[in-house]
């Protein structure tokens, strides 16, 4: 199941976003060895400050198990500002109808093997279908996605082979990266859905996710503490203040978790 988090609703999903940043740190730094900046166990870069849209995958227990980040190609995005090696110094595509997808990942530790719900394969396809559907419903014709050769093979295996590539495969730290094109058409969406056996609506209502979050983290006290931490984070003006605020947030989250364990 997916939840769409963007600049409009992100204040309602701070825990989910935080878990997503942690997942990205585990995947891109720890597992894949990308040259990304991780602070206090969270991978956050300057594009996260630009109000991107996140398609976030949740398992049946509403834990974050996958994510992808979308930005318009008309404005600042990774291919224009970071991944220029892929484009060999050439200017990127710029179109109202093309979005860029980056930081696509799933949680291999939490998700099961096989192809059933809550598996790596299913979550991957759900995310792909979600990106394409959100794009299509927004009038977007194509997605350009920055991926590594492994992900490229995953796309091909999932009946979702890119129809084209832009630029070349470039070395990015320890790994290679390339830019692939996928069309946001019913044909492609149906193929991905059919491959994984995904049926019906894949995006969850905001209210359902909020209710599930509250059920997982009961207590007024807790939500007050969380909003205090988030306020501190928002008010932070220097890197130092920011990392202090994150450390405080971590400490409080840990404390609350420990308390819940002892209650149970």
Partner 1 sequence: MELIDLAATPEGRHDFVDYLSKICNTLDLDYASYASANPVSGKVVAFTTYPDAWRDHYMQKNLHLSDPTLRSAARSIAPVDWSRLEQTKAFGNVFSQAHDFGLPDIGMTVPIRGPYGEIGLFSVTSRTAPQKWAKLKKHIIADLQLSAVYMHDRVMKSDHLLDILRYPALSAREIEILQWVAVGKSQQDIGDILSISPRTVEVHLRSSREKLSALTTSQAVGRAVSMGLIYPG
For partner 1, give the closer residue by CB, 111 or 192.
Answer: 192
How many Å apart are CA 12 and CA 131, to the nearest integer?
Answer: 21
For partner 1, give the closer residue by CB, 66 or 167.
Answer: 167
How many Å apart are CA 194 and CA 125, to the nearest integer?
Answer: 10
What is the DSSP-derived secondary structure letter of residue 205? Answer: P
How many Å apart are CA 237 and CA 208, to the nearest integer?
Answer: 34
Of the residues 38, 82, 87, 204, which one makes contact with partner 1 according to CB under 8 A:
87
Q: Name which of residues 169 to 208 contact partner 1 (CB under 8 A).
A: 181, 183
Shortest distance in whole angstroms from residue 218 CB to partner 1: 24
Of the residues 166, 170, 210, 225, which one makes contact with partner 1 according to CB under 8 A:
166
Tell me the window of 19-27, 72-80, 102-110, 234-242 that interacts with partner 1 (CB under 8 A): 72-80
For partner 1, give the closer residue by CB, 25 or 146.
Answer: 146
Residue 74 sits in the site that holds partner 1 (CB under 8 A): yes
Q: How many residues bind partner 1 (CB under 8 A)?
A: 38
DSSP strand pairing (98-106 vs 142-147): parallel
H/E stretch holding 66: strand 64-72
Number of neighbouring beta carbons within 10 Å of residue 222: 16
Shortest distance in whole angstroms from residue 141 CB to partner 1: 7
For partner 1, give the closer residue by CB, 142 or 152.
Answer: 142
What is the DSSP-derived secondary structure letter of residue 91? Answer: P
Measured at the CA of 102, the angle between CA 249 and CA 117, to 5 degrees, comes to: 80
- φ, ψ dihedrals at 7, nearest 5°: -60, -25
Residue 211 sits in the site that holds partner 1 (CB under 8 A): no
User: Which tokens hold the place of 164?
Assistant: 């084209």
- φ, ψ dihedrals at 5, nearest 5°: -120, 125
Q: Which residue(s) pair with 109 in the sheet? A: none
Of the residues 141, 169, 232, 253, which one makes contact with partner 1 according to CB under 8 A:
141
Q: Which residue has the tokens 């192809």?
A: 115
* Residues 98-137 as x/- pattern, contact with partner 1 by CB under 8 A: xx----------------------------------x--x
Shortest distance in whole angstroms from residue 148 CB to partner 1: 20
Look at residue 242 and give its three-state secondary structure. Answer: helix
Residue 231 sits in the site that holds partner 1 (CB under 8 A): no
- Positions touching partner 1 (CB under 8 A) are 6-8, 50-53, 70-72, 74-76, 80, 87, 90-99, 134, 137-142, 163-166, 181, 183
């Amino acid at each position: 199941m997916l939840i769409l988090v963007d600049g409009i609703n992100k204040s309602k999903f701070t825990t989910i976003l935080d878990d997503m940043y942690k997942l990205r740190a585990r995947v891109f730094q720890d597992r894949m060895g990308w040259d990304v900046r991780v602070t206090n166990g969270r991978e956050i870069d300057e594009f996260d400050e630009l109000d991107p849209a996140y398609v976030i995958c949740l398992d049946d227990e509403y834990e974050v198990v996958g994510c992808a980040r979308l930005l318009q190609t008309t404005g600042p995005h990774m291919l224009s500002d970071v991944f220029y090696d892929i484009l060999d110094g050439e200017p990127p595509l710029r179109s109202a109808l093309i979005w860029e997808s980056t930081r696509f990942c799933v949680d291999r530790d939490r998700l099961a093997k096989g192809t059933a719900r809550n598996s790596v394969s299913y979550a991957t396809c759900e995310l792909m279908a979600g990106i394409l559907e959100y794009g299509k419903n927004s009038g977007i014709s194509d997605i350009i996605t920055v991926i590594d050769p492994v992900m490229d093979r995953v796309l091909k295996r999932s009946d979702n082979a890119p129809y084209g590539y832009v630029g070349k495969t470039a070395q990015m730290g320890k790994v290679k990266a390339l830019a692939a094109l996928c069309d946001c058409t019913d044909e492609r969406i149906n193929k991905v859905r059919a491959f994984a056996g995904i049926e019906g609506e894949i995006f969850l209502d905001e209210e359902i996710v909020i209710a599930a979050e509250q059920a997982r983290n009961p207590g007024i006290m807790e939500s007050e503490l969380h909003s205090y931490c988030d306020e501190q984070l928002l008010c932070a003006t220097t890197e130092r203040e920011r990392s202090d605020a994150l450390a405080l947030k971590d400490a409080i989250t840990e404390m609350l978790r420990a308390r819940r364990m002892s209650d149970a």
